[in-house]
Amino acid sequence: MTEGTGEDTSEDWTGDMAETQAAPSSRLTITTGADDAGQRLDRVLARHAPDLSRTRIQRLVADGQVQLGGRVVVDAAGRVNAGDVYSIALPEPEAAEPAAENIPLSIAYEDDDLIVIDKPAGMVVHPAPGHSSGTLVNALLHHCGDSLSGIGGVRRPGIVHRIDKDTSGLLVVAKHDKAHQGLAAQFADHGRTGPLERAYLAFVWGVPRPRGSVNAPIDRHPTHRQKMAVRQSGREAITHWQLLETYAGADGEPLASLVECQLETGRTHQIRVHMAHIGHPLLGDEVYGQGFRTKAARLPEEARTLLEGLKRQALHAARLGFAHPVSEQHLAFDSDLPEELEALHAVLSGAGEA
């Protein structure tokens, strides 16, 4: 689940009405000229700031580091107007290698070859621009020591797969090259012919069919580059779901459900994109479920309060199974819903099934 897009296509700029000045404390101010009007933001800013590639500009926009008139810019592909004044915050350069940090970990299993972590919501898996510390990798480097160095690359040692920052649950990390290679092969197969199993619990709006599958390719959104979308240009993505429970709203009518999702592929935001695509976005998903915000008003009051305080999508990586890459023993782990999702589940269940 990678981030970042784009090719470095920055160009020299020779317009006569643009103004560029470096502000103190790593902040850049750019005023666009008449020749810039109607052009893409990332292309214009890269021309005005030759030291920043379009890829770097896109990343800064995605990280909320670009402002127009004091408001954060969210679309690097948006069109500019003459006379726009953009402010770009340039974070301090980050270390080439992540630093070990003494961060508590919830460990489901550990041996000399691998470690299975039950990740809390809010923790980023590996360092990225804007998240150079406090990540799972920083914690693992402290817990495991030098055994992780270099495994899977400098920036993501030992990481075979990842789950979103605001998704909780299980993931496995390799401690050495042989374990990394064995686990990576299983994740590349996605359980089609091997023992890999990944299951997620998701609270969704509406009531889907008892079971089904979504086979729809996923690619970067054409205009909102921080989002993913179902697009024919995308990579194959397959999600299977099974309906577990349904919940009534305060009016007694069906309103929400608990589903189990199993992945046959591993694309960025796959479950969130696919469930929204079939009309059942996740509760708490501010990116893919914005059109369903009004449904929260139909929840029982206690459930509505819990959802408002959740501050994340209601998604949990509840089951992980795989063959041990060294011993070949089959390992399987289950993770209970974290406290905040269990509280939501209890209130929704207490309100009655639809």
| DSSP one-letter string for 190-204 | TTSSSS-EEEEEEEE
| pLDDT score for 24 | 38
Q: Closest Cα to residue 282, out of 316, 252, 238, 305?
A: 316
| pLDDT score for 104 | 96
- Domain boundary (55, 89, 123) is at 89
Q: Which residues are catalytic?
A: 164
Query: Are 165 and 182 in a shared domain?
Result: yes
Query: Are 264 and 332 in a shared domain?
Result: yes
| E strand or H helix at 182 | helix 177-189
The length of the chain, given as a count of residues: 354
Query: Are 224 and 328 in a shared domain?
Result: yes
> Does the structure show a pLDDT above 70 at 22?
no
Residue 249 or residue 10, greater confidence: 249
Residue 39 lies in domain: 19-89
**Nearest-angstrom CA–CA distance, 31 and 83:** 6
Query: Are 312 and 352 in a shared domain?
Result: yes
pLDDT digits (tens, 9 = 90+) for 204-219: 999 999 999 999 999 9
**77 part of a folded domain:** yes
| pLDDT score for 307 | 95
- Under the banding of pLDDT at 50, 70 and 90, the label for residue 108 is very high
> Does the structure show a pLDDT above 80 at 2?
no
Query: Are 206 and 323 in a shared domain?
Result: yes
Q: Which residue has the tokens 């214009």?
A: 44
- Under the banding of pLDDT at 50, 70 and 90, the label for residue 352 is low
CATH code for position 245:
3.30.2350.10
60 HSE (CA, 13 A, CB side)? 24
**170 part of a folded domain:** yes
* Neighbour count for residue 79 (Cβ, 10 Å): 13
Domain tally, the chain: 3
- Share the mean pLDDT of the chain: 86
Evaluate the CA torsion angle 142, 143, 147, 152 in order and state its sign.
negative
| pLDDT score for 118 | 98
CATH code for position 38:
3.10.290.10
- Domain boundary (139, 160, 189) is at 189
- Under the banding of pLDDT at 50, 70 and 90, the label for residue 12 is very low
What is the arithmetic mean of pLDDT over 24-45? 87
What is the arithmetic mean of pLDDT over 247-270? 94
> Does the structure show a pLDDT above 60 at 8?
no
**44 part of a folded domain:** yes
What is the arithmetic mean of pLDDT over 38-60? 87
> Does the structure show a pLDDT above 90 at 189?
no
- Under the banding of pLDDT at 50, 70 and 90, the label for residue 276 is very high
> Does the structure show a pLDDT above 60 at 18?
no
